[in-house]
Structures are given as C-alpha cells and as structure tokens.
Amino acid sequence: MPKTIVITGASDGIGAAAARLLHQDGHTVVVVGRSPDKTRQVADSIGADHLVADFTDLKSVRELASLLGHQYPTIDVLANNAGGVFGAHETTVDGFEKTLQVNHLAPFLLTTLLLPVLIRSKATVIQTASIAARLYGKLDIEDLGNDRNHSPNKAYGDAKLDNILFTRELDARYGSKGISAVAFHPGVIRSGFAADTTSLSMRLTYGNPLVRRFLGSVQQGADQLVWLAETQPGVTWEPGRYYEKRRIATRINPQSTDSDLARRLWDASEVMLARASGSGVRPTPPVLPSD
C-alpha cells in the first residue's frame, strides 16, 4: 500500500538514494534537505515534493514542521536521516553545540511538533543512527553539548547514542498510541559524509580514495531505511529497537538500553528547546487541519 514518506537529509547520500528507491516503489516521497539547489534537483529527478530546512537553526525546523503538518494530513513514515560529524566545538544561533543540535535536538523538535499527525497516521518514525554510538558515545546528561569534554568523534558518538535513546523513549511514550519508532545503522557508506569534519579517523575512513573503494554504496546504505519504511512494525521488526543489517544489534553501547537515561534525555531535550524558544514551556505542536 502506498505511503506518504518524509525523509530529512535527502538532498544527497543515503537519504537521496532512499527517496529514489521509495518513489520507484510507488510511495509519495517528500524530500527535505538543507541545500535548496541539491534538494530541488533530487526531488525534480523523481517528481517529488521538496522542502528546505537548516537544522542549525531551530526556527527553520519549526517552519518545516508547520509546513509538513498543514500540507500532509497523513504522514506514514518520518525518516529522521539528517545529520553529520563536524569539527571543533561550535555553537549554533540557538546556543547549542552544532553536532548535538543537527543530529538530535532538531529531529527531536521536528518529531515532537508533528506528534498529532504522526499519532493520527499511526506512523513509523525512523532514526538514522550509527555504530559511532558504540565506538565513541559516553553520554553525560549534565553535559550534552560536551562543553567540558569535546572532540568531533565523541560529539558525534553521543549524538548517535541520543538517536537510539530517543527511539527507545518515543516507543515508551507513544507506542501505545500508534507510533512505531526504530533506529538503524546504515553501514560505513561511500558518500559525502564527514566532508566537513576535522576528525582524522573520520576523514581517513570516508575521504581516502583507497579506503572508499571498499565502502558500501549509498543504495546499500539506504536498504534498511527502505526496508523499515515499507514493512510492518511488530511483525517484520520490533519497535523501540536499534538495527544493524536488518537485525537487532547485539554489539551495542550499554547506555543505549538504559530506560532511565532515555527518559532523562527526553526531559532534558524538552527543557533545552523550551529555553531556546523563550517560551518557558514545552514545544507546542502545530495546529493541524481537521480530517
């Protein structure tokens, strides 16, 4: 059955490949990206709708949520695929460390703002996580932005661990209301990922021409996203879990199964976003058109 599928970070790499594959399978795909030109090109190449949003600016994320909520009364799948690994500690216009905001706070905000339509649609919410959560992640709930202990790898690993914990808590809070949340590692993929980082290990992995020959293709990286988007949660895969190679991951960061940490991360994220909005309250979902 055709679905309406929103994919962020879809102007390049895994997101663009997934958009093409899902469109070929007959779904209505909404391509979301940061670059207006690249996002439009991907969308035009498959005849899809597109929206532009910059996750380093939460105002842009709120505008994206409002547009999606009003233009698409049903969203069957929200794929939070946008993300990246960056360099030295950098603060966004909203006052948050860039890696934390782009990879976690922005998709957290987008998802929570869209909760009314996602619940009504009984949607699948997919987080593109990473093996970096296990390799580099060591979350300190009192220092989510790594102000005291920053490195590009740790910031990225923590943010990907955030994605897995967010998936766990989204399932805990809204699984009974019809939302099916899942996270996955796409593999080490040959794409433009890590082009802007100062991390030597990331640059050697993703930027070395000799190494790149042995990395997976973007189509291979998109495989799990497409599989999770098209199949039935609770039957084909288990909500609230983190997957690698279409299987529940067994080699994981121990923090990723900490339910109390997942709850505390959710609460801390709400407080941070409320403070950034200046409202002093939790994020407010957009007003949606009636059925």
Helix (H, G, I), strand (E, B) or coil at 164: helix
Residue in the block written with tokens 């433009």: 192
Distance CA 48, CA 9 (A): 15
Q: 271: which 2 tokens?
A: 């407080």
Q: How far apart are CA 170 and CA 163, in angstroms?
A: 10
Report how far residue 32's alpha carbon sits from residue 96's, in angstroms, rounded to the nearest whole number. 22
Place of tokens 């020959």: 213
Annotated catalytic residue, options 72, 136, 156, 174: 156
Judged by DSSP in three states, 175 sits in: helix
Q: For this structure, is 156 an active site residue?
A: yes
What letter would DSSP give residue 243? E
- The 3-class secondary structure across 13-82, one letter per residue, is HHHHHHHHHHHHCCCEEEEEECCHHHHHHHHHHHCCEEEECCCCCHHHHHHHHHHHHHHCCCCCEEEECC
Give CA–CA dist 273/135, Å, rounded.
28
> Would you say how long the chain is, in residues?
291
Local structure of 290: helix, strand or coil: coil
DSSP annotation of 285 reads P
Q: Round to whole Å and give the CA distance between 85 and 128.
A: 13
Q: Please identify every residue annotated as catalytic.
A: 156
